[in-house]
Amino acid sequence: MYGKRLKLIYFSTGGSDVKEYSLGWQRIVAFFLGFLAVCLVFVFIGLALFTDILHDAQNVDLKQRNTHLKTMLAEIEAKVQALEKQVNNIQKDDKDLRIFLSMEDPGEDTRKLGRGGLAKPQSIYSKSEDEALRNANRINQLLEELENRMDFAAKSRLEIISKYNENDQKWRRMPSIRPVEGGRMTDGFGPRTHPTIGIQQFHDGLDIAAPRGTAVYAPADGRVEKVIIKYQPNQSYGRQIVIDHGNGIKTRYAHLRNIDVVEGEEVTRFSQIGTVGDTGRATGPHLHYEVIVDGEHQNPVFYILE
- Considering the domain architecture, whether residues 190 and 164 belong to the same structural domain is answered as no
Q: Identify the domain boundary among 149, 172, 195.
A: 172
What pLDDT was estimated at residue 294? 95
Per-residue pLDDT tens digits for 220-235: 999 999 999 988 887 7
Choose among 206, 179, 221: nearest CA to 298.
206
What pLDDT was estimated at residue 175? 94
pLDDT at position 161 over 70 = yes
Per-residue pLDDT tens digits for 281-301: 888 999 999 999 999 999 999
End-to-end Cα distance, the chain: 133
pLDDT at position 279 over 70 = yes
Residue 275's CATH number: 2.70.70.10
- Considering the domain architecture, whether residues 160 and 46 belong to the same structural domain is answered as yes
Could you tell me the residue range of the domain that residue 23 belongs to? Answer: 1-172
Q: Identify the domain boundary among 138, 172, 206.
A: 172
Per-residue pLDDT tens digits for 23-43: 666 777 777 788 888 888 888
Q: Identify the domain boundary among 172, 198, 228.
A: 172
pLDDT at position 261 over 90 = yes
Per-residue pLDDT tens digits for 107-137: 776 766 544 444 444 444 444 556 667 777 7
Q: How many domains does the chain have?
A: 2
Determine which of 70-74, 123-127, 189-193, 263-267 has the lowest per-residue pLDDT on average: 123-127
Percent of the chain exceeding pLDDT 90 equals: 31
- Considering the domain architecture, whether residues 239 and 293 belong to the same structural domain is answered as yes
* Mean pLDDT on 5-18: 65
- Considering the domain architecture, whether residues 140 and 201 belong to the same structural domain is answered as no
Percent of the chain exceeding pLDDT 70 equals: 81
What pLDDT was estimated at residue 116? 44
Whether 178 is covered by a domain: the verdict is no
Neighbours of 140 (CB within 10 A): 11
Whether 177 is covered by a domain: the verdict is no
Of 254 and 45, the one with more pLDDT? 254
Query: What angle is formed at CA 185 by the lines to CA 230 and CA 193, rounded to 5 degrees?
Result: 75
